[in-house]
Chains A and B, each alone.
Chain A
Amino acid sequence: MGADLSLRNTADRRTSRRRPARPQLIKIATITVLLLFVLFGFPQLLSLYYIDTMTQVAVYSMVTLALGVLVGWVGLVSLGQVAVLAIGAWVAARLLFATTQPYPVVLLEAGLITMVAGVLIGLPALRLRGLYLALITLMFAGAITVVLATLNFPNGGHGFTGYNGSLVHIPPIRRPSIASSDPAYFRYSVIVAILMFLLVLAHTKTKPGRAWAAIRQSEPAALAAGINTTLYKLWAFALASFITGVAGGVLAGAVHYLYSIGFPTQDSITLLAVTLMGGVYSMWGAVVAALLYQFLPALLNNWGVSADWLTILFGLGVLQVLTTAPAGLAIEIVEEAHPPPASRLQNNLTRMGHCLAPWLSSLVSCPKPNTSS
Chain B
Amino acid sequence: MPSWSDFEPFIVSGLALGGVYALSGVGLVVLYRATGVLYLAFGAVGAMGALTAWSLGQAGAPGWLTWLVCIAVAAAITLAYGVLFGPALAKRDPLVKAVATIGLTLILYGLMDLLWTTSGGEARSLTLPSDNGGFSVGQIQVNWTQVIALGAGVVLTVGTGLFLRFTKLGTAMRAMANDREITATLGVPVRRVEAAAWLGCGVLAGIAGLLLADLVALDATTLTFLVISSLAAVLIARLRSITITFVAAIVIGLLHDLLTPITSLTNYRDMTPFVLAAAALLVMPRSQVMAQSREEA
Residues of A within 8 A of B (CB): 75, 77, 124-125, 127-136, 138-140, 142-143, 146-147, 150, 218-220, 265-266, 269-270, 272-273, 276, 306, 308-319, 322-323, 327-329
CB closest chain-A residue, reference B110 = A311
Interface of A: prevailing SS = helix
Nearest-neighbour CB distance to chain B for A222, whole angstroms, equals 11
> A322 and B235: CB pair below 8 A?
no
> A146 and B274: CB pair below 8 A?
yes
**Which residues of A sit under 8 angstroms from B64, Cβ to Cβ?**
none
**Which residues of A sit under 8 angstroms from B96, Cβ to Cβ?**
322, 328-329
> B106 and A311: CB pair below 8 A?
yes
Let me know if B270 is at the binding interface, CB within 8 A: yes
8 A Cβ contacts from B251-282 to A = 267-268, 270-271, 273-275, 277-278, 281-282
Nearest-neighbour CB distance to chain A for B161, whole angstroms, equals 22
> B293 and A130: CB pair below 8 A?
yes
**Which residues of B sit under 8 angstroms from A135, Cβ to Cβ?**
231, 235, 277
Let me know if B196 is at the binding interface, CB within 8 A: no
Let me know if B114 is at the binding interface, CB within 8 A: yes
- Selected A-B contacts with CB under 8 Å, 27 pairs: A128-B290, A130-B93, A130-B292, A131-B98, A131-B239, A136-B278, A139-B235, A139-B278, A142-B228, A143-B274, A147-B271, A150-B267, A266-B221, A270-B106, A273-B106, A311-B107, A315-B102, A315-B108, A316-B103, A317-B103, A318-B99, A318-B100, A319-B85, A327-B294, A327-B297, A328-B96, A328-B297
Point out the residue from A146, A269, A311, A315 that lies within 8 Å of B271, measured CB to CB.
Answer: A146
> A323 and B88: CB pair below 8 A?
yes
Q: CB-defined interface of B76-93 with A at 8 Å, one 1/0 digit per residue?
A: 000000000100110111
- Given the known inter-chain contacts A315-B107, A322-B103, please indicate yes or no for A139 contacting B95, CB distance below 8 A: no
Nearest-neighbour CB distance to chain A for B126, whole angstroms, equals 22
> B268 and A219: CB pair below 8 A?
no
A136 CA to B107 CA, complexed, in Å: 24
> B235 and A269: CB pair below 8 A?
no
A307 CA to B294 CA, complexed, in Å: 36
Point out the residue from A146, A150, A327 that lies within 8 Å of B92, measured CB to CB.
Answer: A327
Residues of B within 8 A of A (CB): 38, 85, 88-89, 91-96, 98-100, 102-111, 113-114, 221, 224-225, 228-229, 231-232, 235, 238-239, 267-268, 270-271, 273-275, 277-278, 281-282, 286, 289-295, 297
> A322 and B106: CB pair below 8 A?
no
Q: Can you name 8 extra interface pairs (CB under 8 A) apart from A130-B94, A218-B294, A328-B294?
A: A136-B277, A139-B231, A139-B232, A265-B225, A269-B106, A316-B107, A322-B96, A323-B100
> A134 and B106: CB pair below 8 A?
no
> A329 and B281: CB pair below 8 A?
no
**Which residues of A sit under 8 angstroms from B273, Cβ to Cβ?**
139, 142
> A266 and B225: CB pair below 8 A?
yes
**Which residues of A sit under 8 angstroms from B100, Cβ to Cβ?**
318-319, 322-323
A289 CA to B221 CA, complexed, in Å: 24
A317 CA to B85 CA, complexed, in Å: 14
A285 CA to B87 CA, complexed, in Å: 28
**Which residues of B sit under 8 angstroms from A265, Cβ to Cβ?**
225, 228
> A131 and B102: CB pair below 8 A?
no
A319 CA to B86 CA, complexed, in Å: 11
CB closest chain-B residue, reference A313 = B110
CB closest chain-A residue, reference B285 = A127
> A127 and B289: CB pair below 8 A?
yes
A146 CA to B278 CA, complexed, in Å: 15
> B235 and A136: CB pair below 8 A?
yes
A147 CA to B69 CA, complexed, in Å: 40
**Which residues of B sit under 8 angstroms from A125, Cβ to Cβ?**
282
**Which residues of B sit under 8 angstroms from A128, Cβ to Cβ?**
281, 289-291
**Which residues of A sit under 8 angstroms from B286, Cβ to Cβ?**
127
**Which residues of A sit under 8 angstroms from B111, Cβ to Cβ?**
308, 312
**Which residues of A sit under 8 angstroms from B221, Cβ to Cβ?**
266
CB closest chain-B residue, reference A329 = B96
A318 CA to B105 CA, complexed, in Å: 10
Point out the residue from B109, B231, B274 that lies within 8 Å of A311, measured CB to CB.
Answer: B109
Point out the residue from A147, A266, A306 that lies within 8 Å of B114, measured CB to CB.
Answer: A306
> A138 and B268: CB pair below 8 A?
no
